[in-house]
Amino acid sequence: MPQFVVRLNHPPDQCPTSNSKVRERAAKGATEIPKLAQKHGIKFIAGPLVLDAEHEGIAVVEAERPEAIHAFVLESGLMQWNSIRVTLAQSLVESMQELEKVPPPIY
């Protein structure tokens, strides 16, 4: 199943440590994450992890399609106070095998 890296970040004023409304929403939403992930066919490989001082979060997930991750972050409310990036991830071996599909080097 494809793996994706999910990165979240927010400004300090939108952090659950400094914003009471975000704190309330984050606390409530954290308990719903496993249920929502299961609903959308998402499996957490690593995380979710919080990088406190950077106001970021990160997770490595498996999902059939990126649209499942989009539905998950939408329904979880995470996109209400975070910018979210979802990137396809590959093993080093897979990445090296794909070099055969790339045009010849330009340098």
Q: Mind listing the pLDDT tens digit for each residue in 34-74?
A: 999 999 999 999 999 999 899 999 999 999 999 999 999 99
What pLDDT was estimated at residue 4?
98
Domain residue spans of the chain: 3-101
H or E segment and range at residue 26: helix 20-30
d(CA 83, CA 79): 6
Q: Tell the burial category of 12 from Cβ atoms under 10 Å away from its Cβ (0-12, 13-18, 19+).
A: exposed
Report the predicted TM-score, pTM, of the whole model to 2 decimal places: 0.88
CATH no. of 3-101: 3.30.70.1060
